[in-house]
Homo-oligomer: A and B are copies of this chain.
């Protein structure tokens, strides 16, 4: 029950604290027999160093680099800042400082430039959203060669060994399908991909696969799963044509945060009987959720992704804990009645 200290071990082994410390840190210069004896004791007693004392002694200021898309350009990322601040507040007892860098999510070159700026602050570890697969791959490789631990969230760069926090996109597509299925009859369904300012093609494909798999598993489903890809600039016209071309449409799944575009049109065209499921609690979507035009939103919880990512990194720095390679957050289903608590900072 008592907590053993180095001093205790030293006493039990009949040596000095210095020797025990040398054994613990494999710093050599210890006689073999003594080392064996001390090791045995450490094992037997299950020695756990006092991490407070260690951090007090080290007296080190940890420096964390954070690189995320600029919330001014895409408001989706704003809540990440909250998550980061939460993690910092939680570890305010330790001296962890962050340098945050924002990049333009529509500009791969900017991503690379900001990475260089970040590197100039010589961070101990890095947390980032690696939107661009190709560029991120090379950047992450560089960090690995410099022995800088990196945590990523939102986008997984499978070519890298960086840790990742996100969601199971395939499964979230299945969830969307299940929701639409449960609130509609057995009419046609549509998957709509609306191009964002930046491409998240992999994201959208995975969600589509999951969505289709649900209906493929469904016995007795005879209708069609339609698909429509829309470029951001042409949204309204192309969407209207699509709706008119498919009068039997009963449900729509928008694979990113742009469901509000579809909702606006459904209201304008008096087709709000068509069920609508989309992603992300941005304000435009929440408005249509409350008005009833959007039925469900799937919450990707960017705040929690950022919070957890940073927390893992900090715990690694101060407590030497291992960082999980991959952590998939639960996927939240949101309707007009449970949305409020998810919006708070």
Contacts and interface: CB of A to CB of B under 8 A. Distances in A.
Nearest to A318: B93
A177 B335 CA distance: 11
A252 interface: no
A313 to B, nearest CB: 15
A127 to B, nearest CB: 19
A279 B177 CA distance: 22
A341 B334 contact: no
Interface string A66-79: 00000000000000
A109 interface: no
B214 A174 contact: no
A343 to B, nearest CB: 9
Name the prevailing secondary structure of the A interface residues.
Answer: mixed
Contact of A183 (B50, B183, B330, B333): B183
A322 B171 CA distance: 39
B336 A331 contact: no
Interface stretch (A52-60, A142-150, A232-240): A52-60
Given A93-B319, A95-B3, A175 B337 contact: yes
A158 interface: no
A178 B335 contact: yes
A336 B329 CA distance: 16
Contacts of A333: 332-335, 338
- Chain B CB within 10 A, most for which of A95, A329, A330: A330
A95 B332 CA distance: 35
Copies in the complex: 2
Interface residues of A, number: 37
Interface in A304-345: 319, 328-338, 341-342
Contact of A56 (B53, B168, B183, B329): B53
Contacts of A55: 52
Contact of A52 (B94, B168, B171, B330): B94
B335 A331 contact: no
Nearest to A95: B3
A83 B142 CA distance: 38
Contacts of A335: 175, 178-179, 182, 333
A119 to B, nearest CB: 21
Contacts of A92: 48
Contact of A338 (B175, B319, B336, B338): B175
- For the complex of A and B, the 5 pairs showing the least CB-CB separation, nearest first, are A330-B341, A51-B93, A333-B333, A175-B337, A178-B337
22 contacts: A48-B92, A50-B56, A50-B93, A51-B93, A52-B55, A52-B56, A52-B94, A93-B319, A168-B341, A171-B337, A171-B338, A174-B337, A177-B337, A178-B337, A182-B183, A182-B295, A182-B335, A330-B338, A331-B338, A331-B341, A332-B338, A333-B335
Interface of A: 3, 48, 50-53, 55-56, 92-95, 168, 171, 174-175, 177-179, 182-183, 214, 295, 319, 328-338, 341-342
Given A51-B93, A330-B341, 11 more contacts: A50-B56, A52-B94, A171-B337, A171-B338, A175-B335, A183-B183, A329-B341, A330-B332, A332-B333, A333-B333, A333-B338
